[in-house]
Structure formats: structure tokens, C-alpha cells
Structure 1
Amino acid sequence: MTYYTEKGEEPINGKIEYFDHLTFWVGNAKQAAQWYCTHFGFKPLCYKGLETGCRDIVSHVIKQNKIIFVLQSALDEKNEEMAKHLIKHGDGVKDIAFSVIDLVPLIEKIREKGGKIVKEPWTEKDDDGHVMMATVQTYGDTTHTLVERKNFNGLFLPNYKGALFQPEFFNELPAANLQFIDHVVGNQPDQMMVPVSDWYEKVLQFHRFWSVDDKEVHTKYSALRSIVVTNYEETLKMPLNEPAPGLRKSQIQEYIDYYGSAGVQHIALNSNNIIDSIESLKKRGLEFLKIPDTYYETLKEKLKTSKTKVKEDMNMLQKLKILVDYDENGYLLQIFTKCVQDRPTLFLEVIQRHNHQGFGAGNFKSLFEAIEADQQTRGNL
């Protein structure tokens, strides 16, 4: 496991600040939005569709604290791009949007560095102001929309109206209290992780933050390599994974096979109190990976000789199947959902950090074994 301290030169042509929102392309946006609200604790924020004069795409926007998801579907067969995307990939994340300062010089720098501009800068406006955006291509069919919103005071983006649905029972469910997007993980085909990492460093002026190789992260059957890239301020993290050769098919390769290309494997959402969050999410019916009790027995023994002290009740962590990773500076707590659609592709993570900026490398083996158990039931191990 390696941490990197070299950040390179501070960008002077525009700045990427933080995650703005994630856009999912799905078969039924209304149902998908309601699923995330019911099971993950989001609330409907705003909407764009037939009722607002948009005739081709429907967008349901949901929010939880600083986390914004946009669920989109096509309204007719004319949208060939969305139709082909769904056939190839199934439901998943299409776009990872970044909030930026000074979009125009930033997009020119990206162009100069060889980045592919999918959509040139454009402006949308309404009575609340205007927003400037541009879209660039990243790995697979995934894109990054760059959003400059300094002149806008609306809920989300121009021309969105109030949410189409606001069921009262949402208010009766226990609050999940998830705070912000901690990181977004992209799976890459074998031998593509480094070229993609290099792309982020060259085109978006990101830098390496953390990495592990297959000697550190493996089970009896499978292994992975991972590089995490981040912006200059290190306010957003983008882990990039690739499979490594093993006796059987790794969960990274299973993802590639079913998604059809590189794509977003999971989204990590930060919590200030992971025990309360997971208790609430379980009451909401969310399913998580199962971790064996032997993991906690081993963990308790190791922690006896560690300088790091876990504040949370270990018995409660074991009951909820929350994983612990630590070093001499601090620790993190994390837990992973099962896949959130029929294809074994996208899942989500809940994470809490206590002075620990890693990504759970100490838990990768246990996580892989839990995923391999699910792979076995699918006949894909």
C-alpha cells in the first residue's frame, strides 16, 4: 500500500472543486428514484419531464445532505444513445459531475491536453440564474460533466421543477444521515488501470493519492490492483481498479463481463455515525454483504496490541457486519451493499473515517471473500 505526497503544480486554468452530482441511466427513472429514497434515505428534490416541457428524457433528482443523484430514462424510442447504453450496460452511472471554477479556461486546458470533449460548453438559464456546463469523456462510456454554478441560486439546475412524488411515508422511515460522496470507484479491464490513471493526471491535472497491487490484495481465487487519483485540493477521490490473474474470475472481471466495459463499480457515501446509519438502512430493507464472525475474532486480537483504539462498540460492529481498517494514525469503518440491480455490477458503500484516508486495503481480502460467496451463488466464480 502506497500513499503519494507529490501533487504537481497547482492548476491555474480553472479548478475542479468537488463531486457535484451523479447521473444514472436506468430503465425506469421514477421507480429507481423511489427505490433510493425508500431504501437509502434520499428525498425527492426536483424533476424535469413531460410535465415541465421536456419531451425526450425524464429526470428525477434526489438528495441527501450534500449527495445528489439524478435518475434518467428516455421517454421514447428515438433516443438511440440511451437505448444502446441500457442494452449494453443495464442500469448504472453514466456521468460523474464535478463542480468547477472558471469552466472556459478549464475546458480549453483539457482540449489542449488531448481530452475528448463530448459536449462543448453550453449555458442553461431560468429565473434563478444561469449555469455553464461542458462534458468530457473518461473511461468506457462514462463521462464527466463540469458544472460552473456561481451565477445560479436554484435547487439544482435551471428548468427543473418541484419533485413529481413526495410520499408521506418517507418521513416516517428512520433517517440514514449519509453526508457526502466520499469516493467513486471505476473498474477497468486488465492492463487499463495505469493508462486511465495517466489520463486523469495529464488531462484533468489530478495526481496519484494511494495505490495497492495484487501482492497485497488477493484471496485464494482472485486479486486486484488499485490506484486512487484526486484533484489538487484532494476533495474528491477516484479509485481505479483492474483485475489481476487468479485461479478463478475476480469480481472486477465479473463486473467488466456484465457491464460490457469499464464503468462505475461502486459509490462510497460518508456517514458521521455509521452504526446509526446502518441500523436505519437495515430497517429500510437494504441488503449488505455478510462477513463471517471469524473476521471479528481476528480483528479483536490484533487491536489488543495496536496503538489505535476503536471508539465504537465492537460487538455492535460485529452484529451489523461493519468492517474496520486501521493504521498507526487512525481507522475507518465501512460496509458494502449487495448489488443494487440484477446484473452483478453497481453496489454502494457506507464509510466513516477517524483520521484515516485509506480505502480499506486491510479489508479487501474479507470483502473479496464475501463477494466470492455471492459469485458462487451466481455461478460466476
Structure 2
Amino acid sequence: MAAAGRRDVPGRAGPSRPARRPRRRGRTTPHEHAAKCPTTCCTCPTVAGIPRIRQAEVMPQNHSELTLAYVEFYVGDASARAEELRRRYGFEVFATTGAPGPDSERHSLALRQGGVTLIVSQGAAAASYVERHGDGVADIAFHVDDVSDAFARAVRAGARPVREPSGAPEPQAAFAVFGDVAHTLLPHGVPLPPGFSPVTRDARTGLADFEALDHFAVCVEAGDLAGTVEFWQRAFGFSSVFREHISVGVQAMNSEVVGNAAGDVVLTIIEPDREAGPGQIDEFLREHRGPGIQHLALRTRDIVGTLDRLAAQGVETLNVPDTYYDALPERVTVTEYSLPQLRKARILVDEDHNGRLFQVFTRSVHPRRTFFFEVLERCGAETFGSNNIKALYTAVESERVLSAAVSPR
């Protein structure tokens, strides 16, 4: 589940950091972007000439407001995974339920950092998931205005029912759209599922500074991208804000980004291109044994400082060729960090009409190589590193080939 890191990530030493220009934190929500954006633009391209679907065409009337509640991992050892998130990534445990041990029906720990809430769970419910997929994201839970209405809307749009609404006065329900990832629905103001008890807060480790979960990367089977996007549009009024076809060598993939009105649930949905050779997405689908979450993107306000602290705890990031940084000044004018800092930390940089995006990807230490984290900083940028995608997948491909050579299956 976790990832591990580069030891050569710099701290504040080295060339002085230029003064930052004033910048916007976060980004415009998908709905705001769709409202002000033409049918096609640099942020919202078409794929093979297909116009971008506009949110207004599919948004249901009186749809329930949906926001992110928490993300739950099913794991083999909840205590170990929680300690890993605490020690390496700076999360702190704030609530628990159940007891550890192989005979426990359920043992879960809830962790928090900034606006990000994660739950790690083991037990009977998690066992079958872990056997099939390994440790991974099993639930992306949402707050909604009306649980029964949101559940009915999801099922009408094609979702699989997982749990019917129950539990008044604070009802809950769950549905699934892709793979074995559930979506629990909770009323606003209910932070966690029933049964959690608060614990004495850990002393802050100060290892990282994540303020929000920026987006999820979702891998689906070839041919399922359009239907998955349409579900979120029809059920909950998500906007489609970005489409792209990505080619790396003989492999290729299609991706589309959709998000909710609040901007805190953003899904980058990716499918392999049937007409290209097999690649990373095909490998994920094979090793994960179906669709699922490939990575979570954690947003920070100071990516160099965050990487410095993560590296000190053994969090490794993917390598990026030096040639990327040799060409960077010709593509982007960076004022926030020096080129030596970016090169040494292997930070990718992209730019749109509102500012810059800085991002890195942790090296997966998942036994199946089916999960990792992205760490990013938005200095006004609203897009998703389109110009970096090829560099990312080239780096991932190098890791995949190297790993296969060292540990043949």
C-alpha cells in the first residue's frame, strides 16, 4: 500500500529560493471550469475529434450534493498499515473500532491529516478483498444531503447495490460502480461509520503537510471509460473537464477527468487502448484482478519541504531522466523553486493559463505494484500535468521493466 523514497531529495540547502509570486491555492472546481470554458480548449481537449461532454447536458435536476467523507483501505494488517501512514506520511490516528488479531470480526483505524481522512481495516469483510486484490482502496465514501435519494439515483444510473439505506436517524447505504470499490453514503455531519471511538491524539510527527486529497486515479477495463464517466455525470452531476489519449512506446491509454461541484471528488479514469500493445494499465488490471484505484494524489503547499521530510522517512519517488530538466527552462518559467531543487527532487512541472503544477509519484512497494501515492503542489494550476503524463508513464514503464527483470513472474 505504501511507497518508499528517494534519499537524495534536498531540503532548503542549495541555491536560494526566488520570491514566490502571489498565487491561488487549490483550483477552480470542475463545474466552475466547465461553466467558463469553451467546448474545447487547452484544458479540455477533444479525443479523436469528439467534443467534450458538457455538464449541463447531463446534470440531473435536484441532485443530492455530494462531497468526500473518507477513503477506506482493506488490508491484511491494519495496525501495521496505520503505523506506516503515521511514520512515513505524517498521518495521525484519531479513532478506532474493533480489536486487532486474526479472529477479530473487524479492526479499523481512522487517520487524519489536513482535510484527508483515511481508514485502514482488516477482518472478515476485508479478507476476501485482500485475497483477490491485495491491500488497496475498497471504499470512497461520500457525504450527501439525502442518503436514500442518492442511493436511488446511483442505482437508476446503473450502480450495483451493496447496502440498502438503513440505520435511522443517521442512515447509510453503499453502491459500487467499478470493480470491488464501494461508495458508502453518509449524511453530512457524520464523519465515520458507526462504532468508532476517539483515541488520544498522537504527537504530531511533522513529516508532511498534506492539506487535501486532490484526485483519484481509477483504472477500468478497455471500453468502460465512457460508461463510467456517464454514470457520474447522470447520477451526481459531475463535470467532464479533461480528456486525453496517451501513447508511450507501443502502449496507449485513454483518460478522462470528472469531478463534483464542490471540487473535492475528482476522478481521473483511465482505460487501456485496445488497438495498442499491452502496458501499465493492462498490468494493473491483471495484477489487481479487475478495475480499481491505482493511486491517490495528496496536495501540499510546499512540495520541496514535504519531499524532504518524506525522504527522511524512506519514501522513494520515481526517477525522471536528466534530459527532462535540461529541456524544462524552454517549456516553463518557474519562479517558485530553483532548477537544481527540481532536478534533485525529480519534481515534474507543468503550466496552464492559471499557474504551475509540481508533482512527483512515489515508488510502489505494494507486492503487486498496484498502488502508489502522488504528491503535488498547485500554484494556481487547475489541470493535471498533461505535459508530464508521458514522462510519468515512461518512468513507470522503466520501473515495471526493471522489476520484471529482477523478479520474473
Q: Under TM normalisation by the shorter chain, which class is it?
A: 0.7 to 0.9
Partner deviation per Cα, 1:205-230 (whole Å, 9 max, x = no partner): 323121101xxx22223222101111
Amino acid at match of 1:188: V
Distance in 1 (CA, whole Å) between partners of 2:367 and 2:122 is: 18
Partner deviation per Cα, 1:260-309 (whole Å, 9 max, x = no partner): 00000100011111111111111111111011111111112223xxxx54
Q: Tell whether the 8 Å contact from 1:131 to 1:157 is kept in structure 2 after alignment.
A: no
The aligned counterpart of 2:241 is 209
Which of 5, 15, 23 in structure 1 is aligned with 2:65? 15
3-state SS, counterpart of residue 253 of structure 2? strand
Q: What are the within-5 Å matches in structure 2 for residues 265-344 of structure 1?
A: 265-303=294-332, 309-344=334-369
Q: What are the within-5 Å matches in structure 2 for residues 241-280 of structure 1?
A: 241-244=270-273, 248-280=277-309
Alpha-carbon distance, 1:123 to partner: 2.7
3-state SS, counterpart of residue 117 of structure 2? strand
Q: Tell whether the 8 Å contact from 1:61 to 1:70 is kept in structure 2 after alignment.
A: yes
Alpha-carbon distance, 1:12 to partner: 1.1
The aligned counterpart of 2:400 is 375
TM score, norm. by length of structure 2: 0.80
Q: Tell whether the 8 Å contact from 1:113 to 1:202 is kept in structure 2 after alignment.
A: yes
Aligned residues between the structures: 354
Are residues 228 and 109 of structure 1, via their aligned partners in 2, closer, same or farther at CA, if it must alter by over 3 Å? same
1:39 aligns with 2:83: no
Alpha-carbon distance, 1:203 to partner: 2.6
Q: What are the within-5 Å matches in structure 2 for residues 59-98 of structure 1?
A: 59-74=108-123, 79=124, 82-98=126-142
1:354 aligns with 2:386: no
Q: Tell whether the 8 Å contact from 1:310 to 1:331 is kept in structure 2 after alignment.
A: no
Alpha-carbon distance, 1:317 to partner: 1.3
Distance in 2 (CA, whole Å) between partners of 1:247 and 1:211 is: 18
Which of 90, 94, 107 in structure 1 is aligned with 2:151? 107
The aligned counterpart of 1:193 is 225
Higher relative contact order (CA 8 A, sep 6+): 2
Amino acid at match of 1:320: A
Which of 255, 261, 264 in structure 2 is aligned with 1:226? 255
Q: Tell whether the 8 Å contact from 2:88 to 2:207 is kept in structure 1 after alignment.
A: no
3-state SS, counterpart of residue 314 of structure 2? coil
Distance in 1 (CA, whole Å) between partners of 2:95 and 2:222 is: 39
Alpha-carbon distance, 1:108 to partner: 2.7
1:235 aligns with 2:274: no
Are residues 220 and 60 of structure 1, via their aligned partners in 2, closer, same or farther at CA, if it must alter by over 3 Å? same
Q: Tell whether the 8 Å contact from 1:25 to 1:93 is kept in structure 2 after alignment.
A: yes
The aligned counterpart of 1:159 is 195
Show structure 1 runs of 5+ residues with no match.
125-129
The aligned counterpart of 2:163 is 119
Distance in 1 (CA, whole Å) between partners of 2:80 and 2:127 is: 18
3-state SS, counterpart of residue 139 of structure 1? coil
Identity %: 26
3-state SS, counterpart of residue 363 of structure 2? coil
Alpha-carbon distance, 1:10 to partner: 6.2
Partner deviation per Cα, 1:26-59 (whole Å, 9 max, x = no partner): 11111011111111110111100138xx951110
Distance in 2 (CA, whole Å) between partners of 1:362 and 1:89 is: 31
Are residues 312 and 343 of structure 1, via their aligned partners in 2, closer, same or farther at CA, if it must alter by over 3 Å? same
Q: Tell whether the 8 Å contact from 1:26 to 1:73 is kept in structure 2 after alignment.
A: yes
Partner deviation per Cα, 1:176-217 (whole Å, 9 max, x = no partner): 01011100111011121112112222233323121101xxx2
Which of 177, 194, 201 in structure 2 is aligned with 1:138? 177
Are residues 131 and 40 of structure 1, via their aligned partners in 2, closer, same or farther at CA, if it must alter by over 3 Å? farther
Are residues 157 and 141 of structure 1, via their aligned partners in 2, closer, same or farther at CA, if it must alter by over 3 Å? closer
Q: Tell whether the 8 Å contact from 1:207 to 1:231 is kept in structure 2 after alignment.
A: yes
Q: Tell whether the 8 Å contact from 2:247 to 2:253 is kept in structure 1 after alignment.
A: yes
3-state SS, counterpart of residue 218 of structure 1? strand
3-state SS, counterpart of residue 317 of structure 2? coil
3-state SS, counterpart of residue 379 of structure 1? helix
Are residues 5 and 175 of structure 1, via their aligned partners in 2, closer, same or farther at CA, if it must alter by over 3 Å? farther
Are residues 248 and 106 of structure 1, via their aligned partners in 2, closer, same or farther at CA, if it must alter by over 3 Å? closer
Partner deviation per Cα, 1:77-122 (whole Å, 9 max, x = no partner): xx3x533321210010001111222223222333333432211122
Partner deviation per Cα, 1:285-344 (whole Å, 9 max, x = no partner): 1111011111111112223xxxx5442222111111110011233210100001141111
3-state SS, counterpart of residue 298 of structure 1? helix
The aligned counterpart of 1:127 is none
Are residues 275 and 131 of structure 1, via their aligned partners in 2, closer, same or farther at CA, if it must alter by over 3 Å? farther
The root-mean-square deviation of aligned C-alpha atoms, in Å, is: 2.4
Which of 385, 389, 400 in structure 2 is aligned with 1:364? 389
Range with bigger deviation, 254-263 or 111-120: 111-120
Are residues 64 and 374 of structure 1, via their aligned partners in 2, closer, same or farther at CA, if it must alter by over 3 Å? same
TM score, norm. by length of structure 1: 0.86
The aligned counterpart of 1:6 is 54
Partner deviation per Cα, 1:220-246 (whole Å, 9 max, x = no partner): 232221011112343321110011257
Are residues 87 and 220 of structure 1, via their aligned partners in 2, closer, same or farther at CA, if it must alter by over 3 Å? same
Distance in 2 (CA, whole Å) between partners of 1:175 and 1:82 is: 29
